[in-house]
Amino acid sequence: MVTLTKEAADKVKDLLDGQEDKGLRLFVKPGGCSGFSYGLAIDDKKSSDQVLLEFGVPVLVDEESASLIAGAEIDFVESLGSSGFTIHNPNAVSTCGCGSSFRTRDEAGQPGSCD
């Protein structure tokens, strides 16, 4: 299960304004310097997705990504120098400096560039 903080849900609601049939997709793809990279997108639901409702926001997770991000929390952080979504993943045993690449205890992924 993936959760959203209230701050993240509020930001996603702003992004979804007028797009009733869409949700926030959290996915994992091979790559990044630690092996896997996170992705976030506003997307349509697919029949094989897990759909979770957090603060009224649909969160979409594909089957392949689900085990790598089970228990993750998506937050939206605003600071003096920047703002954006962050993902706190309890399955990540190693991350890289960019904050968007990780590996798990059982899955190393395919390390590569953090581009």
pLDDT reported for residue 81: 83
Q: Spell out the per-residue pLDDT of the chain, length 115, in tens.
A: 899 999 999 999 999 988 888 999 999 887 666 677 889 999 999 999 999 999 999 999 999 999 889 999 999 998 888 899 988 888 876 666 655 666 566 665 555 655 5
Alpha carbon separation from 12 to 5, 30, 41, 106, 108 (Å, rounded): 11, 25, 10, 31, 30
Domain count, the chain: 1
| Domain contains 112 | no
pTM: 0.82
Check residue 105 and give its pLDDT.
67
Q: What CATH number has the domain bearing residue 33? A: 2.60.300.12
Q: What is the pLDDT of residue 46?
A: 93
